[in-house]
Amino acid sequence: MAEHAGSRIGQIILGIIVLLLSMPLLVMYIWLVESAFSQITYGIIPQGFTLSNWRFLWEGFTNMPSIWRITWNTLVFAVVVATIEVFIASLTGYALSRMKFPGRRMFLSLTLVLHAFPAVTLLIAIFYVLLVLGLYDTLVGVIMVKAALELPLGVWIMKGFFDNISWDMEMSALIDGCSRLRTWWEILLPNIRPGIAALSIFAFLSGWSEFLLPYIYTSSFENFTLSVLLRRLVGDFRFVDYGLLTATGLYYMMPVLLFFIFTQEYLLNIYAGGTKGTTV
Amino acid sequence: MEVRLERLSKHFGSVVAVDDLTLHIKSGEFVALLGPSGCGKTTTLLMLAGIYRPTGGEIWFGDRLVNDVLPKDRNIGMVFQSYALYPHMTVFENITFPLKLKKVPKEVMREKAQRVADMMQIGHLMDRRPAQLSGGQQQRVALARALVKEPDILLFDEPLSNLDAKLRLTMRGEIKRLQHDLDITSIYVTHDQVEAMTMADRIAVLRDGRLQAFATPDELYNRPRNLFVAGFIGSPPMNFLNARLTAQNGQAIVEGNGFRITLPEDLGRKALSQAQREEVIYGIRPEHIRLDPDGEVEAEIYVIEPLGREDLLDCRLPDGTLLGVLVPSGHGVKIGEKVRLKFQLDHSQLFDPHTEQSLLWN
Amino acid sequence: MAQQTVVAERAALQVEPSWRARLRAITTPAFFIGPALLLILIFFFIPVILTILISLTDMSVATISDINFVGLKNYERIWRSRTTMKILKNTFIYVGFTLTLFNVGMALILSLITTHIPERVGTTFRTFWLLPRITPSVIYAIMWTWFTADAPYGIVNQFLSPFGITPKNWLNAQPWLVVIAANGFVGTSFGMIIFTSAIHAIPVDYLRAALVDGASTLQRIRYVILPMIRWPILFVVTYQTLSLLASFEYILLLTDGGPGFYTTEVWSLYAYHRALSNYFGNVQFGFGAALAAILVIIGVIASVVYLRVFRFSEMVAEPKIEVL
């Protein structure tokens, strides 16, 4: 929509309004960054530049596992969740988009119902499922839960990507000698690379940021993730050492910020993709 | 490879796409499936390819029943309207993809690909990606890919529709020549009757999933078996007039609003013996009518459509019926002028208005 | 395609598929959807049933070795408890205000403004509003805690003190305000994206026609844009109501239901506290499960209703390849 109503002045006023509305967020993120490098901040005003807030990188935290161990856990958690999610979602999304089999419509409805269903309400029961499976307080267990809960959204997004691939091309591949599996792997997947990349980023960020699941389903030090660590630090340090806290927070948020800065269009698209079709 | 469709049918839910279709295609024959959109021709082709499973009936390739054979095991090549090239592969990779799947040795693969690419005059484009090619070049790559595995049967799904008019003519000739040289049984789906008439050995005309006619182009044009075929084949289309057929003094007389003609003897005899009622539909092609002061029909020029070499005159009969007449340019008549028309009576067609079957060619 | 009904019992040649083809028709889809089915079974289906089963027992730390079936006793307790009223009221405040002020209200304002300013600026703002959603919740909570902290640290106080407002710890003084705002600033992006794409989908001709008719920008929004995006609005309202009902992560991180006794404790947080958080050392799985079961049932019903109301199933096209 190019020719928007209103004069230049009108547009500038609108711009100022949206800027004011966004102000709290802007201020918070600015504070996060400056506080990580300051001795102390009064409101938005930093006092005294310092790097000592980052000493946890070489000294670690008292009574906590090593920061590298925790980072490694978080990385493993996010990467494995993303891999499982993308892999399974691209299998299932393909089947739902492109295969004719009994129960297909039902499975599609199910995916949609689960997409809308608030999975958080199942936390209590899942706790028991993990206990029974012997996966309580293991990274494997939390990874599986996270992947499963994110799956309906992932399947729906992947299905959307597969929907846009030309049928002729797939028919051609079948005639050229592919099985369905091979078609999926050699013809379809290479042609939805942007979709796979987008979902991977999305799933990775979601896994990287996850708090509730590791917080509830793990308890040992060796399974700490950065979110759990930070939650513990808030308990220990509240109103004591905000510099250290924000430095840790900024450290934790680094990949998020990087992805945010470098893959902005992707993010907007993936969110639009996840909600696409639901706006009848 | 001989191809036989035996009582083939395909239903999508309650919609019947193909209904009881029987078609015997000879080895090396070039057959066109022709019909308006939604007539079931593409559905039939996709059943031949193994993409759709028939609801009923059998498909035979030679003496092999292929109903349950996967597309990859049918040894067919197919060319799509959209070309269906793999955008993430180069031309070379596209062409050799079928061979790669067959695990053909690299050397053989390279040699075969080069040969077929040269034949299609795209040998110099091997390293390009489909997106870098023109529509015509893409279609050549698609053809090369279909040919490289030396298929028993070639399937075409409106392969020329996306090309511009001039290119379409060139490719039409090339495909026909190629098919002739390679002698591969070919089935060609199109809604363009000119394409079907010029390329095919035989044409199967389909409507609403049913076979209307399966005959040579010449037969379809000169001896249409029913009203649909008569109206569908030929451009501009055949004129139809409501009339009565009666026998008078041993002659067959066709009489309608504002015209009365006597059929040639052989046609008259056939028509009279076949007719079950007096009412008939009289058909005559625009190219078989001319302006003639002695003509038996009086009409008024309604519109003149110049086509270049010829003009199409829409002539209005007294009862308001419009009659297309194809005459060489330079006829000198003007809109509103009263003219007399002469029918070439030996090209007359007669149909039963209820059964829509021809009274002459069944 | 011509609509011809099947002539029944036509003596057409019927060919049964071979056993190979039949087997393929099962194994191929099974391979593709099997893994997803398994995960869904373990982490959705079974938990739904389990939630309801546990809610019918007196399972708790004290009775873990001797679990008894108690029927609907837990539900009776919920019904009788005076706390329930308080929790219910909190839940209404939380869902109602977050939804109207932010998830729909702010989302509408943002999508309307960002589609009425130059596209590039609009996109930048919309993208920026996604940042809270991908920010780890723990960090997000820390930022809010600091933002609302007491003088001399808090940012809010710094901005308000020139207006003569006494500095305070806003999270303690106005916990609802902070909880709703914090949740709202995350929740806004969902509606914002949906509304924006809906506005973009309005044919330009309608907007032009309104301009030609001499409508002001506000009139155009009121009479052209809003009526045309009422379905997306309804969708966001229903969808987000459900999400908010079930969510408690940010409240847990910000106030943990406090300050004080149940001040900002909402239903789902209450369920979590009772069943999983050993804060009081007396974990009541059965009771917590009953609380959760009520949400689960609401969730199942609501999501099935969406499916019908928004006609998801009609968007499902049939695959064009039948062979497996």
**Mean pLDDT score of chain C:** 80
With contact defined as beta carbons under 8 Å apart, do B95 and B116 qualify? Answer: yes
**pLDDT tens-place string over residues B5-39:** 999 999 988 889 999 999 999 999 999 999 988 88
Peptide bond into C47 cis (omega under 30): no
Q: How far is B94 from chain A (nearest CA, A)?
A: 10
* Cβ–Cβ < 8 Å for B329, B349: no
Closest partner residue to C6 (CB to CB) among B14, B58, B68 is: B14
Q: Do the beta carbons of residue C180 and residue C102 sit within 8 Å?
A: yes
Of A171, A176, A179, the CB nearest to B51: A171
Which chain A residue shows the shortest CA-CA distance from B148?
Answer: A176
Nearest to B80 among A168, A182, A190 (CB): A168
Give the burial string for A57-71 (b: 16+ CB within 10 Å, else e).
Answer: eeeebeebbebeebb
Rg value, chain A, Cα:
23
**Per-window interface: A 236-275 vs C, CB < 8 A:** 238-239, 242, 245-246, 249, 252-253, 256, 259-260, 264, 267-268, 271-272, 275
- Nearest CB to A172; choose among B78, B102, B149: B78
The C-alpha of C58 sits at a distance from chain B's nearest C-alpha, in angstroms, of 52
Q: How many beta-carbon pairs under 8 angstroms link B with C?
A: 58
Q: Please report all neighbours of A, defined by 3+ CB atom pairs within 8 A.
A: B, C
Residue B81 with chain A: CB contacts under 8 Å: 168
Closest partner residue to C311 (CB to CB) among A121, A145, A280 is: A280
- Predicted ipTM of the assembly: 0.84
C281 pLDDT tier (thresholds 50, 70, 90): low
Between A51 and B81, where is the model more confident? B81
Cα dihedral C266, A228, A88, A255, rounded to 10, equals 110
**Residue A280: band (very low, low, confident or very high) from pLDDT cuts 50, 70, 90:** very low
Give chain C's domains with CATH numbers. Answer: 55-311 (1.10.3720.10)
Provide the pairing of β-strand B153-157 with B76-79. parallel
For A56-268, CATH gives 1.10.3720.10
* Chain B closest-CA separation from residue C59 CA (Å): 52
C143: which chain A residues are within 8 Å (Cβ-Cβ)? Answer: 28-29, 31-32
Q: Residue B41: how many CB atoms within 10 A of its CB?
A: 28
Report A:200-229 residues touching C (Cβ under 8 A). 205-206, 208-209, 211-212, 216, 226-227
Residue A57: CB partners within 8 Å, gap ≥ 6? A67, A251
Region of residue C262 (left: phi > 0; alpha: psi -120 to 50; beta: else)? left
Residues 6+ apart with CB under 8 A from B3: B23, B24, B25, B48, B59, B60, B61, B153, B185, B187
Q: How many CA atoms lie within 13 A of B124 on its CB side?
A: 1
Q: What is the pLDDT of residue C1?
A: 38
Q: For residue C117, give the 3-state DSSP assignment.
A: coil
pLDDT, one tens digit per residue, over C168-212 is: 777 777 888 888 998 999 889 888 888 888 888 888 787 778 777
CA distance C153 to chain A (A): 5
Closest CA to A41 of B107, C208, C313, C153: C153
Does the structure show a pLDDT above 50 at A277?
no
- The predicted structure's pLDDT at residue C282: 66
> Which of helix, strand or coil describes residue A48?
strand
Q: Of the candidates B149, B153, B176, B156, which has an alpha carbon nearest to the alpha carbon of residue B95?
A: B149
Q: Return the axis-axis angle of helices B106-119 and B91-101, rounded to nearest 10°.
A: 130
Choose, out of B8, B11, B15, B228, the residue to mutate when testing the contact with C (most C CBs < 10 Å): B15
- Residue-wise pLDDT tens digits, A209-226: 899 899 888 888 888 888
Instruction: Note the pLDDT tens digit of each residue in C110-160.
Output: 988 888 888 888 888 888 888 888 888 888 988 888 888 776 677 777 777
